[in-house]
Chains A and B, each alone.
Chain A
Amino acid sequence: MDRRKFLRGFLLAPLAAFAAGEVTVIRNAKILTVTKGSFDGSILIRDGKIAEVGPTVTAPADARIIDAGGQYVMPGIIDCHSHIGTEAVNEGTVTVSSMTGIEDTVDPEAIGIYRALAGGVTTANILHGSANAIGGKNVVIKMRWGKGAPEILLEGATPGIKFALGENPKRRGGGDSGLGGRLRYPATRMGVEDVIREAFTDARAYKAAWDDYRTRAAKGERLIAPRRDLKLEPLVEVLEGKRHVHAHCYRADEILMLLRVADEFGFKIRTLQHVLEGYKVAKEIKEHGAGASTFSDWWSYKMEAFDAIPYNAALMHKKGVLVSLNSDDAEMMRHLNQEAAKTIRYGGLTDVEALALITINPARQLAIDNRVGSIEAGKDADLVIYDKHPLSNYAKVQKVFIDGEMYFDRDKDMSERAVKAARRRQLTEKQKAAAAPARPAGGGRRPQ
């Protein structure tokens, strides 16, 4: 086999692309379904979906068998807040950057995707940064390593948009704004509220202008159409309930502010992100119906994180809020299972409750729980095999499946390391030699 092709192949390709109609059975597994109990059994996968799961399954004779060797299988981890797999994160120059969207900058070859896979993550919400009160549009991706940009997007996921409250969006209003000596409104939490209200006031006017145009144009009136405004269109979608709002927030006051602004404009906040003081206003969050996606234990890295407590997830959960744990970090993303385990220490959640924080709960928050988030018949076969219970700090990911295809296999990863290293050495030497000053062979003219 051509070595180059071989390398290219293994660098960027799912390990085993299963043909349509093919059946795979993962047997001899300790199955943690998250929603339907835990038991020893098997999972039958057909056409990328979980066809059957139970102590026993009825497998056709020619099924591909994967023996889990008594290891643990759980649903693929879902990270509700990540910035991997994109070439850009923040359009921080404007107060409202809703015209931007991560879909435009998705990089399916970013190594972070592979690393996330190796940490058991199969789905992630890729958000715009938090420099603006209203940020850009997000995408939900699956870690289909080796596929192109459109193919890694989770089909049919509801579009969303990032908001951000507190210190980050107001940072450019004072001090070293990072804007070359200019200051950008807002400089306070009051201003953050104002920006959001102003933007939605504009969005309402924009919608009204189009409605008016359509009505009058339908009557045959001769009119120039309004200009399309890519900044306001996503906000109109928010008003119409067609786009989820994922709002970065820390303090209880700003959380409540946003919920009330949303109430006033008649839309819902889908998820509060970070929401480190969410435990203080869990009641209001629950009443509004927002989900809360928080850190396990980050605190004190800035002023607004000083009242953050690692009991936040457990406390909000106990108060009836739909809670998930996220990473917001390419490294932490690789051990969200360990982060979930901390909610047992901090707040006494059960194993199943802890696992739900990184599987079915984020799936519900992203409205993709019809597809992912638990091991149930009919759902996507997004599965992770761990050698130990995934809530143990000693567990490590062995294999990861997405849509029934194996995208990560630790044994394979290990065995390919030497080949990759050798190729890297070979090319490095070759290119170093080529970069050395040219010496024309015998009698040639010297470079001037």
Chain B
Amino acid sequence: MLLAAAGAIAHGQSGSPEIYAIQNATIHTASGPIISSGTIVVRNGLIESVGSGADVPAGAWTIDGKGLHVYPGLIDALSRWGLPPAADAPASRPAAAPTAARRGGGGDDSPSNVQFQDDGGPEERPSNTSWLKAADLVQPNDPALTAARNAGFTTAVVFPPTGIFAGQGSALNLGGGRAGDMVVSSPVGQFLSLSVRGFTSFPGSLLGSIAYVRQVYLDAAHYKSAKAMYTQNPRGLQRPAYDRALEGVLESPRLLLPASRKVEIDRMIRFGRELKNPFVLYGGSEAWRAADSLKAAGVPLLINLKWPERDRESDPDVVDSLRTLEIRENAPAGPAALAKAGVRFAFYSGGVERPADIRRAVKRAVDAGLANDDALRAMTLDAARIYGLDDRLGSLEPGKIANLFVTDGDWLAEKTAVKMVFVDGKKFEPAAGGQTNGPA
């Protein structure tokens, strides 16, 4: 039995004790050496102490951690958890009315389906919901959050999913309850995709997407300085028009740019620099070829744990290109190459549908040469660092948020089960038997 102090098992929401002490456990702090038989004390949602000789305060619920491992709670560095599909952007249509009436002498008679020269370009902010924040959209009762927590995740950096300027991410703790209680930090960044859905409206190509993003960041810089001037002294100045799309861009402390192939990584490094904003790349399937570029640029990378693989639906007679085959073969070796080169990176769930499968995906990176510790950091401390949240998340250190998970073995071993998860100091236990890494 795990709980030594009392017979009653306190679950999640109600009646949680305020103080927990896990004793005699192997503690993986992520920030320092492994403590082979240590104690970690959690009080009021924070880590009070960690160490081999840490005191157990009076009134603490003590947990015998013999044979157990304690890890910092896992972080999904780019997540959709908590945003069911229904939460998709409500307003990706251009905000401004077309200016069709301007030309052609037709005045107001111009048919509404005719697009004139000045219509539909970047000025109309298509595919842009930069002002949306995941913190405002999250549905705390989304079953995905529970599933993730059961797999050892305590935090997800959740971004709205739709559009080129999809919106702002929020770091959310997976403790459920009210949405507001889940928010660790918001906004943490603007999620950009350069994907194109059809050729029917601007931008209809990668060319247009990039040009569009570039114009928006120029507009944002202009907006910012114009507003500053106006705020300082409005007299004699034309009032800058309010633009929620630019407000959203300016609010975001960093931007996330898509980059999977090496060509894209190099391209987005150049583009990110040009935008003069802190940026992070996500994707990384060809990170194994791009470690030098990333190192030289000092740009962090979020790596999609959905390793590229042959589509089971694909034509059995079609032989993929060597390029594709090499990407599949080598993608899991990317993290090791980055670790070796000293590039900061973190993992994200990407296309891995079940949280329980994520650790298996991480294991593939470890099998391809990534040190176990580096793998753990890529899901904890380094993810926190990339978002500037390492002062509160990512490692087991006194004063940080008490996000941790407890297993009965090495976190990446096939049969290891997650025994309990602490989010903001609140204890959760997965269903009986614990969540193993094995097939579920």
Contact surface of A with B, Cβ cutoff 8 Å: 4, 7-8, 11, 87-97, 99-102, 104-109, 128, 136, 148-150, 178-185, 195, 198-199, 222-225, 227-231, 420, 423-424, 427-428, 430-432, 434-435, 438, 440, 444-448
Contacts and interface: CB of A to CB of B under 8 A. Distances in A.
A84 to B, nearest CB: 14
Given A420-B322, A428-B325, A444-B439, A93 B237 contact: no
B117 A95 contact: yes
B206 to A, nearest CB: 4
Given A94-B121, A108-B263, A224 B226 contact: yes
Given A136-B207, A149-B263, A431 B328 contact: yes
B122 interface: yes
Nearest to A231: B121
Interface centre among B115, B120, B210, B262 (most CB of A within 10 A): B115
Interface centre among B201, B312, B322 (most CB of A within 10 A): B322
Nearest to A128: B207
Interface in B186-245: 198-208, 210-212, 214-215, 218-219, 222, 225-226, 229-230, 233, 236-238, 240
Given A88-B205, A91-B205, A428-B325, A104 B210 contact: yes
Given A109-B262, A223-B237, 8 more contacts: A11-B322, A99-B212, A99-B215, A100-B207, A149-B263, A427-B322, A428-B325, A435-B309
Contacts of B323: 11, 109
B270 interface: yes
A227 B215 CA distance: 10
Interface string B91-119: 00000000000011000000101111101
Contacts of B206: 87-88, 104-105
A180 B328 contact: no
Interface residues on B, range: 35 or more
Nearest to A426: B325
Given A99-B215, A230-B218, A181 B207 contact: no
Contacts of B120: 93-94
A422 B388 CA distance: 47
Interface of B: 103-104, 111, 113-117, 119-122, 198-208, 210-212, 214-215, 218-219, 222, 225-226, 229-230, 233, 236-238, 240, 261-263, 266-267, 270-271, 289, 309-310, 312, 319-320, 322-323, 325-326, 328-330, 438-440
Contact of B229 (A87, A89, A91, A224): A224
A229 B310 CA distance: 44
A438 B439 CA distance: 10
B203 A104 contact: no
B325 A427 contact: yes
Contact of A430 (B103, B210, B219, B329): B329
A136 B121 CA distance: 13
Nearest to B213: A104
Contact of B329 (A101, A182, A431): A431
Given A109-B263, A227-B222, A99 B211 contact: yes
A183 B117 contact: no
A227 B202 CA distance: 20
A7 B322 CA distance: 10
Contacts of A185: 103-104, 114-117
A93 B325 contact: no
B310 A435 contact: yes
A434 B203 contact: no
Contacts of A178: 199-200
Contacts of A99: 121-122, 208, 211-212, 214-215
5 contacts: A87-B206, A100-B211, A101-B211, A182-B115, A224-B238
Nearest to B439: A447
A93 B328 contact: no
Contacts of B218: 227-228, 230
B116 A95 contact: yes
B439 A105 contact: no
B204 A91 contact: yes
A97 B440 contact: no
A448 B438 CA distance: 11
Nearest to A424: B322
Contact of A104 (B207, B240, B289): B207
A88 B207 contact: yes
B237 A92 contact: no
B117 A93 contact: no
Contact of B113 (A93, A181, A198, A229): A181
Given A101-B211, A444-B438, A96 B117 contact: yes
A91 B329 CA distance: 34
B403 to A, nearest CB: 29
Contacts of A96: 117
A136 to B, nearest CB: 6
Given A104-B271, A185-B114, A427-B326, A149 B266 contact: yes
Contacts of A179: 115, 199-201
Contacts of A93: 120, 199-204, 208
A322 to B, nearest CB: 29
B207 A102 contact: yes
B101 to A, nearest CB: 13
B294 to A, nearest CB: 13
Please name the 8 residue pairs, one residue from A and one from B, whose CB atoms are nearest each other, closest first: A180-B200, A427-B325, A91-B208, A100-B207, A93-B204, A88-B206, A88-B205, A104-B210
Given A94-B202, A184-B115, A431-B328, A148 B266 contact: yes
A195 B118 CA distance: 10
B263 A91 contact: no
Contacts of B114: 182-185
B268 to A, nearest CB: 11
A360 B187 CA distance: 56
Contact of B211 (A11, A91, A95, A222): A91
Contacts of A435: 309-310, 312
Contacts of B329: 427, 430-431
Nearest to A98: B211
